[in-house]
Amino acid sequence: MKHVLVIGAGPAGLTAAVAAADAGARVTVLDSGTGPGGQYWRHLPPERPSRREARLHHGWSEFERLRERTERDGSIDVVTEAQAWAIETTGGATVHALIGPSDAAGREALALEADSLVFATGAHDRTLPFPGWNLPGVFSAGAAQALAKGERIAVGRRAVVAGAGPFLLPVAQSLTATGSTVLGVYEAARTPALAKGWLPRPWRLLSSARKGGELAGYLAHHLRHRVPYRLGRAVVEARGDGRVEEAVIARLDADWSPIPGTELTVAADAVCVSHGFTPRLELPIAAGCEIGPDRFVTVDDDQRTSVDGVWAAGEITGIGGVDAALAEGRVAGHLAAGGDRSAIGPARRRRRASADFARRIEAAHGVRPGWTAWMREDTVVCRCEEVAYGALLGTAAATEQGSLRSVKLTTRAGLGICQARMCGRTVEELTGADPSRAADTSDRRPLAAPVRLGDLAGLSSKDDPQKGEH
């Protein structure tokens, strides 16, 4: 019997696990969270049950079906609080993981061997810097939603939601569902960009009908709660004494450059901002998977990566939303288990329709270069090392070869505790780096996940039994 190892228990990973089990494999799913569901179905912990939790979600019955199946099926083992941190793909796959509470020392170390791997590690939201974005009370939009759905926390009483992309709408809905007043949703894209992304070939949207229904639901919610949805606008500054008290909103031109004289200041205690998503590529890169020019894991029509025996599904292969993730997970899981291609024709067709959705999002909401006009000399770019915009640009200009590595070593931008997960792509953009060069990409990290030095030392002495005897 084949052993399929799935990393990530969101929509793509859970679907892959079930499809692999259906095709006759033994399946292990690793997820770093405390329960299955990923970010999309992030929910309250079992200690806080509630009767109508489905109200906070889309496709909740799909999640319940997947969860029940993975719990009931003896051939599927879901391991939560499992942080995969290293991977070997020479002669089968071995995944090293630490099991236990986040960042705790002395977690149980597992080395899992598998015949095939499915990566479904998802994405986190990307926030462009702006003056004051490091003030407490400024959150990524994903944080506001995760706290609302997973903890029933309202991040503020009067919230502003801003950035780019359809994801801003469910964030606003999650906020109002915690009792926050959402003062407005400010979308950077202007009408022409939205039309370019969403209007051509509208019949194609019918094939991702569920996504259309989900969006219609958010729009209905906006009308009901009278949440203004403004296009071509951005939060260009957050202000306050030690924490957010005001947000400055400005109109943008087509390049996302703020139009002088259009600034409007609103009193707010939470500013929730996201400009798209960054895929979590650490493990696929550690496994040697090819990353495409679009910075996603390269897969073929079978969700196969460039590495033998390794598949990928969901947002790490392109931002396509839940329908794409479910279809891709099904294809990847089924084929990773050695299943026959003829059994998954509909899922393969669905994944193609969803790829169209991803292209539309990029065309309508992709980051435009004019945003740097809202930056100031002292605006922090790298949150960890507190490197300011002026210092970063000055160093980049003075660095002859202009490679990202030398800029990082000089300024320390991207070398802090988050390992450039937050600022990496922004620093690349600001310094004119060419991310297709190994020295210029912020995606490569020595360890796929943070591991305590003491644990690393312990793990290496276990691997090499002689070490302990000296």
Partner 1 sequence: MSSIVPFESDPIRPAEPRCLTISVDGERIEGLRGQSIAGILLAQGRTAWRTTVAGRERGVFCGIGVCFDCVGTVNGESDVRLCLRRARDGDTVETQDDSEEDTR
Instruction: Name the residue nearer to partner 1 (CB basis): 136 or 260.
Output: 136
Interface segment toward partner 1; rule CB under 8 A; list 47-55, 64-72, 257-265, 294-302? 47-55
Smallest CA-to-CA distance from 279 within 303, 313, 310 is with 313
Q: Does residue 267 belong to the site contacting partner 1 (CB under 8 A)?
A: no
- Asked if 105 touches partner 1 (CB under 8 A), the answer is yes
Verify binding: residue 355, partner 1, rule CB under 8 A. Answer: no
The span of 301-309, 314-322, 326-334, 381-389 binding partner 1 (CB under 8 A) equals 381-389
| Among positions 48, 65, 196, 359, the unique one binding partner 1 when judged by CB under 8 A | 48
Residues between 160 and 199 that touch partner 1 (CB under 8 A): 177-179
Stretch that binds partner 1, among 62-70, 342-350, 371-379, 413-421 (CB under 8 A): 413-421
Residues paired with residue 83 on neighbouring β-strands, in sequence order? 98
Residue with tokens 């609080």: 81
Which residue bears the tokens 């995944």? 95
In angstroms, the Cα distances linking 18 to 27, 37, 66, 331, 337 are 8, 14, 7, 11, 10
Coil, strand or helix: which one is 459? helix
Contact 77, 8 (CB under 8 A): no
CA distance 50 to 70: 21
144 binds partner 1 (CB under 8 A): yes
Size of the residue set binding partner 1 (CB under 8 A): 56
User: In the Cβ-directed half-sphere of 362, how many Cα atoms lie within 13 Å?
Assistant: 12
Pairing mode of beta strands 116-119, 310-312: parallel
Q: Which is nearer to partner 1, 74 or 242 (CB)?
A: 242
Closest CA to 87 of 63, 57, 111, 64: 111
Which span (64-72, 112-120, 294-302, 378-386) binds partner 1, by CB under 8 A?
A: 378-386
**Residue 446 binds partner 1 (CB under 8 A):** no
Which residue, 44 or 363, has its beta carbon nearer to partner 1? 44
Q: Give the integer Cα–Cα distance in Å for 228 and 237.
A: 19
Is position 421 an interface residue for partner 1 (rule: CB under 8 A)? yes
Residue from the set 50, 262, 436, 460 that interacts with partner 1 by CB under 8 A: 50
CB of 378 to partner 1, least distance (A): 11
Phi, psi of 185, deg, nearest 5: -110, 120
| Residue among 338, 416, 435, 458 that touches partner 1 (CB under 8 A) | 416
Q: Binding partner 1 by CB under 8 A: which of 124, 330, 360, 368? A: 124
CB 149, min distance to partner 1, A = 10
Amino acid at 257: S
Among 64, 69, 99, 152, contact with partner 1 (rule: CB under 8 A): 152
Tokens 């236990």 sit on residue = 100
CB of 132 to partner 1, least distance (A): 11
Interatomic CA distance for residues 107 and 252, integer angstroms = 49
Order across the sheet with 93-99: list the strands: 82-88, 93-99, 108-114
Measured from the CB atom, the residue of 167 and 357 that comes closer to partner 1 is 167
Q: Considering only residues 22, 269, 428, 443, which one is a binding residue for partner 1 as defined by CB under 8 A?
A: 269
Distance CA 209, CA 212 (A): 5
Does 429 participate in binding partner 1 (rule CB under 8 A)?
A: no
Instruction: Match 């859970």 to its residue by tokens.
Output: 14
Contact between 313 and partner 1 by CB under 8 A: the answer reads: no
Which CB, 89 or 174, lies closer to partner 1? 174
Q: Which is nearer to partner 1, 147 or 335 (CB)?
A: 147
- Binders in 216-245 for partner 1, by CB under 8 A: 242-243
Cβ–Cβ contacts within 10 Å for residue 80, how many? 14
Q: Is the dihedral of CA 277, 282, 287, 290 positive or negative?
A: positive
Question: Which among 108-116, 155-163, 424-432, 438-446 is the span making contact with partner 1, rule CB under 8 A?
Answer: 155-163
Residue 24 zone, left/alpha/beta (φ > 0; ψ -120 to 50; rest): left
- Cβ atoms 252, 190 nearer than 8 A: yes
Q: What minimum distance in Å lies between the beta carbon of 428 and partner 1?
A: 17
DSSP secondary structure string, 64-133? HHHHHHHHH-TTEEEE-SEEEEEEE-SSSEEEEEEESSTT-TTPEEEEEEESEEEE---EEE-----TTT
Shortest Cβ 189–partner 1 spacing (Å): 23
Which residue, 290 or 378, is less far from partner 1 as judged by CB? Answer: 378
Considering only the stretches 141-149, 258-266, 340-348, 397-405, report the one whose residues sit in contact with partner 1 under the rule CB under 8 A: 141-149
C-alpha triplet 246, 247, 249: angle, nearest 5°: 145
Report the interface residues with partner 1, using CB under 8 A.
32, 34, 39, 44-53, 55-56, 101-105, 124-125, 134, 136-140, 142-144, 146-147, 151-157, 177-179, 242-243, 269-270, 383-384, 386, 416-418, 421-422, 452
